Amino acid sequence: MSGTRAFLQTGRIICLGFLLAGAAGCGSKTYQVGGKVSFSDGTPVDAGWVVFAPVDSQATVGARGRIQSDGTYQVGTYKEGDGALPGKYRVSVLPPRPPPSAEKGAARGGNRDAALTFESLRVEFDVTPGPNSLSLTVRRQ
């Protein structure tokens, strides 16, 4: 009987550990945030990053999303595309780092060349419960 009691006690401790781990932040609710990044002429930016940095000095978790070839993005906090926590963010649009061949002076072509030379953009945005959409326009340098 004491073996069964020890097994049940161990099971309770393990369950309690899982409950505490879930309450420690992994269960924080994120909300979908996405949109499109374009140049002022409507051409989609086909590379780069959209970065959400929390404005509140107490917040420590931001989000980011890779700009796709059609200009769309979805941000993620804990994993790619899982959304952002509610709150106010400073949003930056950043160009990608040039590929190694570009750093050596090799020719680049297509729209990707234009995407490498846009001005970084900073705006503020409130993520609220539910789906969030933010389209952004950047200027070519």
CATH class of 33-138: mainly beta
pTM (whole model) above 0.75: no
Which tokens belong to 40? 């002022």
First to last CA, the chain: 77
- The residues spanned by each domain of the chain are 1-28, 33-138
pLDDT at 57: 83
Cβ(141)–Cβ(42) under 8 Å?
Answer: no
pLDDT at 117: 57
* DSSP secondary structure letter of residue 93: E
Length of the chain: 141
pLDDT tens digit string along 37-70? 999 999 999 999 999 999 988 888 999 999 999 9
Point out which residues pair with 140 in neighbouring strands: 118
